[in-house]
Amino acid sequence: MLKNPFFIYIISFSSALFFYNFGWSEIYPNLTANLLLFFISTFILAAFLAIFISGSIKKIKAYKVRRLPRIIFPLLILSFVLDIAYAGGIPIVMVSSATGYDYSDFGIPTFHVVIMTFSQAYAIIKFSDYIYSKKIVYLFEVSSVILYYLLIINRGAILFTLTSIIFLIVIKIKKIKIIYIVSSFLFILAALYAFGLIGETRSGDVIDEIGAPTYEFKESGVPQPFFWAYIYSTSPIANLQNTINLQEKNNYNFSGFITYELLPDFISKHLASLINQKRTDFYRITTALNVGSIFTRPYVYLGWLGPITIFLYLSLIIILYTRIIKNSIYSVPSLALLNTLIVFCIFDNMITFSGMMLQLCWLPFLNKIFSLNYKCIANKNYD
């Protein structure tokens, strides 16, 4: 169940709705019946689709360590060094010393995107190698990649990687035990706390002003860093509801919807000039909270037809991708990355986000190379 992307969709969005109802922010609108009906309908359909793809998921069981060329890791480290050198310093040090640093404009153009997406796919492969072989060298490589993300204060990359690691562990274990549930719960709590601390380091103590915590939260005794996690995980639902409340009569902008909500952003950036159109924004509860889930902008473009279409499109991607990877040598890390994409659809339309979609493309690409040549590769040249 926890391996199936459609069940992950149900768990992820129902969890966001559950925590939303804690009511810890004064600026959150009440959820309306039509929004709840939409989610309930997609949950029911997702449950049926989960059964439909269960055959492909069952085939993703075993994983064999496929040794990648040794040269990849040192080249990756060199790429990290070049990326940081281009920025003129180590970002986490620059922030701590109050030196000017714009984390959104970090890295060598284009090269940075390639390195970030490949390094995340590489880290997931290497963690798969670690949990199936128990060789510490693989864990060292994964840790090196995560350290780089920490140095450049890229919370998104850290969360993508850690989430994928959780899914790798879920796929690996044959039977869910209490110790696994407790360990996972503690790990998630630690990760959420760290997320909040990094947020305070990068942005300062502004979360009270941004999220307007209620008196109930302040008196609850929950540590302040967890409020960052609460706001970031539930504000997309708040922005979706706020958009539904404020959106005027829809003009059905199909060209904008196709360009910005169905195509990857590296394509839409070039196509936008042809249609002479910018990506439509949604109605935020506050300017600082700018994430709106995979459904929010589609609603702006097409009304309820937008979220319905994007859910069906996401479902088609899941079905096709699980069929593509079911016989892949990297089927396990591929499934983990797909499930990670589903989780982060809470925050944005990950279908259009190159940083995630390119990761999904790297693994079938590597599978094509190494599954065809694996028998001809000399072991002495690989680690």
- Is the pLDDT assigned to residue 70 strictly greater than 50? yes
What are the tens digits of pLDDT across the range 243-264?
A: 999 987 667 888 889 989 998 8
Q: What is residue 378's predicted lDDT score, i.e. its pLDDT?
A: 39
Residue type, 315: S
Query: In the chain, where does DSSP find H-type helix?
Result: 5-20, 33-52, 54-58, 72-87, 91-96, 111-133, 136-151, 155-172, 178-203, 207-211, 215-218, 225-246, 254-257, 265-275, 293-302, 305-325, 331-344, 354-373
Please check whether residue 53 is in contact with residue 31, taking contact to mean a CB–CB distance below 8 angstroms: no
What are the pLDDT digits (tens) for 119-138?
999 999 999 999 888 889 99
Residue with tokens 């492969």: 125
Q: Which of 132-146, 235-249, 334-348, 363-377 has the lowest mean pLDDT?
A: 363-377
What tokens does 302 get? Answer: 């097409």
Q: Would you place residue 354 in the very low, low, confident or very high pLDDT band (cuts 50, 70, 90)?
A: confident
Q: What is the pLDDT of residue 64?
A: 78
pLDDT tens for residues 184-233? 677 777 777 776 776 666 655 666 667 777 777 777 777 777 787 888 88
- What digits encode the pLDDT tens for the residues 47-61? 999 999 988 888 776
Q: What CA–CA distance (Å, rounded) separates 11 from 197?
A: 26
Question: Per-residue pLDDT for 383 more than 70?
Answer: no
- pLDDT tens sequence across 317-329: 999 999 998 888 8
Q: Are 355 and 116 in contact (CB under 8 A)?
A: yes
Q: What is the mean pLDDT of the chain?
A: 83
**Band of pLDDT at residue 381, cut at 50, 70 and 90:** very low
Per cent of the chain over pLDDT 70 is 85
Domains of the chain by residue range:
5-381
Q: How far apart are CA 74 and CA 202, in angstroms?
A: 29
At 25, is the secondary structure helix, strand, or coil? strand
Query: In the block, which residue shows the tokens 């990670």?
Result: 340
Kindly report the number of other CB atoms within 10 A of residue 334's CB atom: 28
**Residue 22: left (phi > 0), alpha (psi -120 to 50), or beta?**
alpha
Q: Are 268 and 307 in contact (CB under 8 A)?
A: no
Task: Average the pLDDT over each of 113-117, 142-146, 299-303, 335-339 and give the range with the smallest value.
Answer: 113-117
Residues 26 and 209 sit within 8 Å (Cβ to Cβ): no
Joined together, the tokens standing for residue 282 give 């949604």
Q: Is the pLDDT of residue 45 over 80?
A: yes
Higher pLDDT, 10 or 209: 10
Q: What contacts 222, CB < 8 A, 6 or more positions away?
A: none
Lowest-pLDDT range of 90-99, 253-262, 282-291, 331-340 = 90-99
